[in-house]
Amino acid sequence: MADLTGERSRAQMLLIGAFALATVLVVLALLLNSAIYTENRATRGQATVNSGQAATFVGGLDRNVGSLVTHLNEDLDVDTYSVLESEVVTNTNEITAGIESQYANRGFLVEVPDISASSVTHGTRIVQDTDTLISGPGNSPDWTVVSNQEVRRFELSVDPDAIPTIADRFTIKVTDSASDTWEITFHQTGSGEEVTVFPPVGSSESCTASVGTTSVGITNASMAGRPCPALEPILDLPGPYTVEIRNGDEASGTYELTVDDEKGDLSTTYNDPGEGTSATDQPWAVPAIYDVLTEFEYRSLALRFDGEILVAPGEFDD
Amino acid sequence: MNRGQAHTLEGIVAGMILLASILFALQSTVITPLSASTSNQHIENQHEALARGLLTVTGEDGTMKDALLYWGQEPDATENRFHCASSKTKHYTGNPDHNLCSLTQSELNTRDHLPPNAFGKQLEETYGKGIATNVRLRYLDGSNHETQFLVFQGEPSDNAVSETSTVVLYDSDRLRTSDGGEGAKLKNAEDVFYAPDNWPGERIYNVITVEVTVWRI
């Protein structure tokens, strides 16, 4: 009797053991397959919320409205604030209507409400477009360009003299809202132009170019079209800024910048455009648009994104 | 004897269950889109990111706009087309008509189906051989949306990716000549250009969407 009991239980153990192993293998297969499938779903771009498309839309809106602002600012036939304002408003609304239509055609709902004159900030564009000395409107070598303004798109193309003493070189002084003054000096070395940036505390840094006349972008930290690391700390300064020029007679060239106050409210009086190309007619200033505020909403199947952007091409924190 | 047969039967059944479960586990591989297609999902994502970067960069530095305006009227041509595109179509498919093209073979893009300008160079450097590209331009005509191809290499496969970008053309923008110089202003070239002036009398000429589609061939 005892033998029979032992044998029977062994045979059942075999069956139970087989069942257990079978269950383990099936569950293992299930687990591995779900891991593979989950990874596959996770790598699909469209299955996830595709925020890249929304970012492209906002970037495109910024770029296209910015191109309109630059286009209108550079059109000297539009020279009063009322005409500038109405042109910006009309054309921005046309552009955004076109963008809305294009996106709707592809299945995205974007809404950019029409802007009005209150979304537009008046500014002034200060330009020297003839290759003469960088002296002020009254031909003074030391002069204040702007006092306590926001500045964008400050670009120069200058040919400085070779001056050994730093204090006598052509210098741009930028003072920020914390009263820190940064000095940017330009001079010719034997091998080309050199831009040196002197911070209020600490040592200076330089960028060089191998030609005598190069373009320098203050608001985008570039020299001769390439990044200039020495200018990058200037981008982080808090505005508004006071920009002064020292020894403007030690360099000649062209430049322009855009500031956020009306021409009549600036501390320096500038000429009007088109008066001539001699040194006394340069630089001149013309009414311009400083920035445009526009709201937007983007809606796709999986994502809704709304906000507002301030379009100001070439602003310091661009 | 009955017990022996019962034990044998149980042993055989246990063995069969085990065998069956092992076979089942080995056979059940997941069929995913990764396993049976010409393209890998990771590579597709990479191409999409490359396309987005390409469109952003060329939009910012103006080479995309120059490529849109690289249109003209070749001498003795009955139709206007992109400079040195094929003679049968107005866009680039890879068969430039040398009789109607003032660029030499060395000035054309090394890959014939890409435009011979900076935008084509960027496309060429972004995507290597084995990737087909379509570039479609959608413009507005009143309330209609019309299409003009810039590059067309066939119908995309099921694993194609695309990215878009928007460009605004102004009345004062100039067409580009085949050597990159400036041609007529758009407002004077409406009968020659593929897109009409959607806002006549206003500064804006048209708003164009550039769609780049790439896939592996």
User: pLDDT of A86-107, one tens digit each?
Assistant: 999 999 999 999 999 999 998 8
For chain A, the farthest-separated pair of C-alpha atoms sits apart, in whole angstroms, at 126
The arithmetic mean of pLDDT across residues B61-76, rounded, is: 82
pLDDT of residue B192: 84
pLDDT of residue A309: 93
Q: With bands split at pLDDT 50, 70 and 90, how would you rate the model's confidence at B72?
A: confident
Instruction: Tell me: pLDDT of B26 over 70.
Output: yes
Average pLDDT value for chain B: 84
pLDDT of residue B191: 82
Average pLDDT value for chain A: 86
Contacts of A59 in chain B (CB under 8 A): 56
Contacts of A90 in chain B (CB under 8 A): 202
pLDDT of residue A14: 83
CB contact under 8 A, A45 and B42: no
Please work out, in degrees rounded to the nearest 5, the angle formed at the alpha carbon of residue B52 by the alpha carbons of B47 and B55.
120
CB contact under 8 A, A8 and B199: no
d(CA A318, CA A62): 11
The one-character DSSP state at A55 is: H
Return the residue matching tokens 């972004």: B126
CB contact under 8 A, A90 and B206: no
- A71 touches B: beta carbon within 8 Å: yes
* Closest-CA residue of chain B to A56: B165
pLDDT of residue A298: 93
CB contact under 8 A, B60 and A63: yes
Name residues 34-73 of chain B within 8 A of A (Cβ): 34, 41-42, 44-45, 48-49, 52, 55-56, 59-60
User: pLDDT of A64-76, one tens digit each?
Assistant: 999 999 999 988 8
Helices then strands, each counted (H, E), chain A:
4, 15
The arithmetic mean of pLDDT across residues B53-81, rounded, is: 82
- A104 touches B: beta carbon within 8 Å: no
Q: Which of B5, B203, B214 is best to mutate for the A interface (most A CBs within 10 A)?
A: B203
Q: What is the pTM of this model?
A: 0.81
Question: Residues near A168 by Cβ (< 8 Å), separated by ≥ 6?
Answer: A247, A250
pLDDT of residue B134: 93
Least confident of A9-18, A96-105, B144-153: A9-18
The arithmetic mean of pLDDT across residues A267-282, rounded, is: 79
The structure tokens listed for A294 are 């526009």
Q: Per-residue b/e over B133-160, b at no fewer than 16 CB within 10 Å?
A: bbbbbbbbeeeeeeebbbbbbeebeebb
CB contact under 8 A, B168 and A98: yes
Instruction: Tell me: pLDDT of B153 over 60.
Output: yes
Closest residue to A37, CB basis, from B7, B32, B140: B32
Instruction: Tell me: pLDDT of A121 over 70.
Output: yes
pLDDT of residue A317: 55
In DSSP terms, which residues pair with A243 in a beta bridge? A146, A174
> Is A273 exposed, middle or buried (CB count within 10 Å of its CB: 0-12, 13-18, 19+)?
middle
Contacts of A15 in chain B (CB under 8 A): 10, 13-14, 17
DSSP result, A227-245: E-GGGHHHHTS-S-EEEEE
Amino acid at A143: W
Q: With bands split at pLDDT 50, 70 and 90, how would you rate the model's confidence at A137?
A: confident
Instruction: Tell me: pLDDT of B74 over 60.
Output: no
User: What is the end-to-end Cα distance of chain A in Å, rounded?
Assistant: 93
Instruction: Tell me: pLDDT of A160 over 70.
Output: yes
- The CA distance from B21 to the nearest CA of chain A, in Å, is 5
pLDDT of residue A68: 93
Instruction: Tell me: pLDDT of B107 over 80.
Output: no
Q: What ipTM goes with this model?
A: 0.80
Instruction: Tell me: pLDDT of B34 over 60.
Output: no
Closest residue to B138, CB basis, from A12, A21, A105: A105
> Is B106 exposed, middle or buried (CB count within 10 Å of its CB: 0-12, 13-18, 19+)?
exposed
Instruction: Determine how β-strand B144-151 pairs with β-strand B131-141.
Output: antiparallel
pLDDT of residue B78: 59
CB contact under 8 A, B204 and A44: no
The arithmetic mean of pLDDT across residues B88-107, rounded, is: 73
pLDDT of residue B168: 94
The arithmetic mean of pLDDT across residues A2-12, rounded, is: 55
Question: Residues near A13 by Cβ (< 8 Å), separated by ≥ 6?
Answer: none
- B9 touches A: beta carbon within 8 Å: no
> Is A205 exposed, middle or buried (CB count within 10 Å of its CB: 0-12, 13-18, 19+)?
middle
Instruction: Tell me: pLDDT of B179 over 90.
Output: no
The arithmetic mean of pLDDT across residues B26-47, rounded, is: 69
Closest CA to A246 of A196, A173, A146, A181: A173
CA-CA-CA-CA torsion for A100, A45, B46, B113, nearest 10 degrees?
A: -50
Closest residue to B204, CB basis, from A25, A52, A91: A91
- A40 touches B: beta carbon within 8 Å: yes
User: pLDDT of A166-194, one tens digit each?
Assistant: 888 999 999 999 889 999 999 888 888 88
The arithmetic mean of pLDDT across residues B158-185, rounded, is: 89
The arithmetic mean of pLDDT across residues A118-134, rounded, is: 90
The arithmetic mean of pLDDT across residues A261-284, rounded, is: 82
Give me the phi and psi of A47, to 5 degrees please. -70, -30
